Amino acid sequence: MPYRNLNPTQAKELLDGGEGWVYVDVRTEGEFAQGHAAGACNIPVAVGHPPQMAVNNDFLAVVKANFKKNQKLVLACAAGGRSSKACEILVNAGYSDLVNMKGGLMGARDPMGNVEKGWATLGYPTETTVAAGKSYDALRRNV
């Protein structure tokens, strides 16, 4: 299986499990600055503002510069769409331990219209400060 789709509760269990999983927020820098999961790294998979977003051509290079192909990564965005795309890009580049956090930070609706709660709406730790070395600006300097 190229990557797993897990809900925020399952993703948090992985992150808290001591196995070295890293939370990578693939939202834009502006979205990340407004609030993100505590301790998250930011590597946007898309740039711009909706609906005028485009793929970030540096996404893969920045991931490769900061994480080995066997690094365990939980990828998340606002609702799960962009992080799914990020997982596809990384699978195609040879990454193997990937999780797409469906429902993302803010939550999403499933195909039946039911609300799937996100990381923040479940009350999991969030912050607006960025730890040293985890901002997109800092991570892309490693390329």
Residue 77 annotated as catalytic: yes
Dist. CA 86–CA 89, nearest whole Å: 5
Give the separation between CA 69 and CA 12, rounded to whole angstroms: 21
Instruction: Provide the pairing of β-strand 126-127 with 115-116.
Output: unpaired
State the CB neighbour count (10 A cutoff) for residue 47. 15
| Marked catalytic residue, from 15, 37, 77, 99 | 77
Q: Which two tokens stand for residue 127?
A: 């912050």
63 CB neighbour count, 10 Å cutoff? 25
Q: Which residues are catalytic?
A: 77
